[in-house]
Amino acid sequence: MQSSTIRTAPSHFARALQCTSPGLIRCPRPCIVAKWLQSRNLTTATPAAQEAIPLRKHLKDEAKRKKADAKRDGNTASTKSGADPRLEKWELTVGIEIHAELNTACKLVSSAPAEVLETDNGGMANSRVAMFDAALPGTQPQFQVATLLPALRAAIAFGCEVQRKSGWDRKHYFHWDQPNGYQITQYYQPFAKDGCLVLDASDGVPALDMQGADRLRIGIKQIQMEQDTAKTTNVGSSTYHVDLNRAGVPLIEIITLPQIHSPQTAAAVVRKIQAVLKSVDSCVIGMELGGLRADVNVSVRERGTSGVGSSYSGVSGLGQRTEIKNLSSFKAVEDAIIAERDRQITVLEAGGVIEGETRGWTLGATETTRLRGKEGEVDYRYMPDADLPPLVIGQDLVKHLTSTLPTLPDQLQQDLQDEYNLSLKDAKTLIDLDNGDRLDFFLRTVHSVTAELSISSQAQIGKMVGNWVLHELGGLLTTHQRSWDDVRITADELRDILVCLHQKRITTRVAKQLLADLFQREPAPAARPCVEQLIETGNLRLRPLSEEEYRDLARRIMDESPEMVKAVREKGQKGKVMWFVGQMVRQGEEGTVEPEQARATIERLMGG
């Protein structure tokens, strides 16, 4: 029902407005409230537009960018804006604060569910709200112990010292997405301190930052648990819809030390943190779906000086820092830091002074916008929460979780490269794909193949199995547009194919055909022929040809296409030999011609 005094947008319009990308408020309003709203990132329509960039695409883009940079730097008459010479004088320092949603069933201090359940319309707005979340008078918080598990795992994964006793504090500010008027956080005594994150060049850290070492350690100052705020959507000029489902969902805030010195490293740090949190099942929703948000603190100083003498948590000699809030993608992190760094250098070179302010970044902008200056700084009046008892964490629990922690991505990657002889790119892809299911499949296959063939080291066949699992199966999945859940090929079937191939009982081409055949058939309850049966019925066994037969076949093909022969013999186009090999394989009987033999024969005939 429409009230005549309130001008609200009609519902279809509201839906269209909801689809605007986050951070973009339709009507820019200069008032301080609006700026502060933006700093709280209220227009949180689900950012469906942003998708996770697959690892291989990301690596390709990085390689392209590096090539373009190298080409540009190669030109002596560089038309670059002069950022490079400026960077020789000015040094950037970045500290990152990451807020990540914990993977829990309940909210932090109330018993409402934190996740959407299929039953009872869990997806509706304001359907998962406890009385404390709505701040009804007289309600009390109660710490939900299950939220401790993912938080502790995150702390252990980053090597933090888990504090036995930690406290809960209130951070007071008034806003409609915070019904209680304060957020419950751990300001004075966080539950985990002094961890570290290790990066290397393959994570995307530029060589300049590595400074000759093969690892870069970024210190993590602390990890603390806190509540999330409600979700608000902007509909119409100044009307907001509030959904309290998200109010009170547990978050962890990970604060790094200001030891990051380039925008690419900052983006790499955020990516690494997301990967580590996902691997220990702490935070499984990624940045692109809004489950992880980053705030960055940026400052510059002249190289060799100590800036304005600011310090943060033991790192001293820094310039005045500004904070950029609510960056919601890796690219945004990088671009915002670059824009802010350039702005600060420009101001300082012109003789100005950087003020400690809070700034915002929108996608596609060229400069950060000022949200709140020092005079608009909010006094949060931190005080210990009297309703919640201190958090006391038992050492036995920490020990148990440390011993049962899943393998971290770094270790996994190293193992795959060392024990199974995979390349770095393949190892990384295998770890990321399909939530680790494909890696599990790979490991199962390798182990069973090794057992079957009685080979001692797994490195010999690791690479072959890796290729088949990643590229062959991957290719089949994309051509038939199926997901990994519907792969239908069991590890045993793949083992049979690869064992036959390794023992040279079938050719590679036949093996691929078998794979494709099994891929198409109906899954398990239906009758699936085993690999042996398929080889028998299709007469696909390798019947090796004798030398005579190879030569006859080769000569026949050479007679059929004299121009190609001329190309190889006279023009010296050695590559065309493979064309002959292809022709031989195609024209020979299925499962008889081996490409290596064929190539040897052709080369002998050509040369002789």
Nearest distance from C-beta of residue 339 to another protein, angstroms = 28
For another protein, which is the closer residue by CB, 77 or 392? 392
CB of 397 to another protein, least distance (A): 5
Look up residue 535 and give its two tokens. Answer: 């080889």
Minimum CB distance to another protein, residue 340 (Å): 27
What is the separation, in whole angstroms, between the first and last Cα of the chain? 92
| Distance of closest approach, residue 105 Cβ to another protein, in angstroms | 5
User: What b/e readout covers 12-29, taking b as 16+ CB neighbours within 10 angstroms?
Assistant: eebeebeeeebbebeeee
List residues bridging with 506 in a β-sheet: none
Output the smallest distance, CB 214 to another protein, in A.
26
CB of 260 to another protein, least distance (A): 29
Q: Considering beta carbons, is residue 327 or 498 the nearer one to another protein? A: 498
Q: How far is the CB of 346 from another protein (least distance, A)?
A: 33
When the beta carbons of 439 and 531 are compared against another protein, the nearer one is 439
Residue carrying structure tokens 């797994």: 458
CA geometry: angle at 393 spanning 390 and 395, to 5°?
A: 150
Least distance to another protein from the beta carbon of 31, Å? 6
Nearer to another protein, 96 or 431 (CB): 431
CB nearer to another protein: give 146 or 213: 146
Q: Which helix (H) or strand (E) holds 182?
A: strand 182-185
- Nearest CA among 79, 140, 80, 147 for reference residue 107: 147
Please say which residue, 167 or 474, places its beta carbon nearer to another protein. Answer: 167
Give the three-class secondary structure for 32: helix
Smaller CB separation from another protein, 254 or 431: 431
Is the CB of residue 490 less than 8 Å from the CB of residue 522? no
Q: Which of 223, 338 has the CB closer to another protein?
A: 223
Q: For another protein, which is the closer residue by CB, 53 or 131? A: 131
What are the strands, taking DSSP E only, across 187-281? 192-199, 216-227, 231-235, 239-243, 250-256
* Other residues' Cβ atoms within 10 Å of the Cβ of residue 323: 20
Contact 605, 557 (CB under 8 A): no
How would you label 298-312 residue by residue, b for 16+ Cβ within 10 Å and e otherwise? bbbbeeeeebeebeb
Tokens found for residue 96: 């990152």
Question: Which residue in the block uniquely carries the two structure tokens 């962890």?
Answer: 252
CA distance 326 to 23: 9
**Cα separation, 503 vs 382, whole angstroms:** 71
State the minimum distance, in angstroms, from the CB of residue 120 to another protein: 7
- Edge to edge, the sheet with strand 250-256 lists 161-162, 192-199, 216-227, 250-256, 90-101, 292-302, 322-327, 358-360, 369-372
Nearer to another protein, 238 or 539 (CB): 238
CA gap 87, 76 in Å, rounded: 18
Distance of closest approach, residue 45 Cβ to another protein, in angstroms: 13
